[in-house]
Amino acid sequence: MEWLEALDRPSSAELRQAVMEKPSDFSGSTFPTDISTIRLTGDAHFLETIAGLFTWIVDMEDYSRRVEINLKETEDRATGESTGNYALYLNVTERS
């Protein structure tokens, strides 16, 4: 908690510089890479509320990159049934 509380709010420029874009020809999991991905999980109300904090990422879309947004309902791994919760993924991808 001390680490989090000690952080300064980043500027728009700092946010842009910190994002590692996904190459346009990338496939597979981004988890073991340095590609920047924002992942949020929870119920619909939580995601709709928290997603507003990430509108800055939309400003990163331009002629050389696009913002990739993936929203899907999560499934229980054991049963395959919908949980009623969602996962939101955001990242910036190089345009091909």
Task: Give the number of domains in the chain.
Answer: 1
Instruction: Give the model confidence (pLDDT) of 19-70 as tens digits.
Output: 999 999 999 999 899 999 999 999 999 999 999 999 999 999 999 999 999 9
Which residue carries 């619909």 as its tokens?
A: 44
pTM attached to this predicted model = 0.86
pLDDT over 90 at 96, yes or no: no
Please give the Cα distance from 35 to 64 (Å, whole number).
Answer: 16
| Contact partners, residue 51, CB within 8 Å, separation at least 6 | 40, 88
Range of the domain at 32: 2-94
Pair 48, 71: CB distance under 8 Å: no
Please give the Cα distance from 16 to 65 (Å, whole number).
Answer: 12
